[in-house]
Amino acid sequence: MQAPGYKVTQALEKVIDEREDLKIIVCDNGPEFSGALLDEWSLKY
């Protein structure tokens, strides 16, 4: 099952909010990490 981009970005926002000392997020190149929405979100960070 593939997660839509908005669900991935919501999950990442939650991790960022919970981990104040977070410096980097490492991910693989799976289909859930591709798409325009995630590209746009990643530009914020």
**Whether 12 contacts 38, CB under 8 Å:** no
Q: What is the pTM for the complete model shown?
A: 0.69
Q: Identify the pLDDT of residue 1.
A: 52
Q: How many CB atoms lie within 10 A of CB 13?
A: 12
pLDDT digits (tens, 9 = 90+) for 1-45: 557 888 888 998 999 899 888 888 887 777 777 788 888 888 887
Q: Identify the pLDDT of residue 22.
A: 82
Q: Identify the pLDDT of residue 2.
A: 59
Q: Identify the pLDDT of residue 28.
A: 78
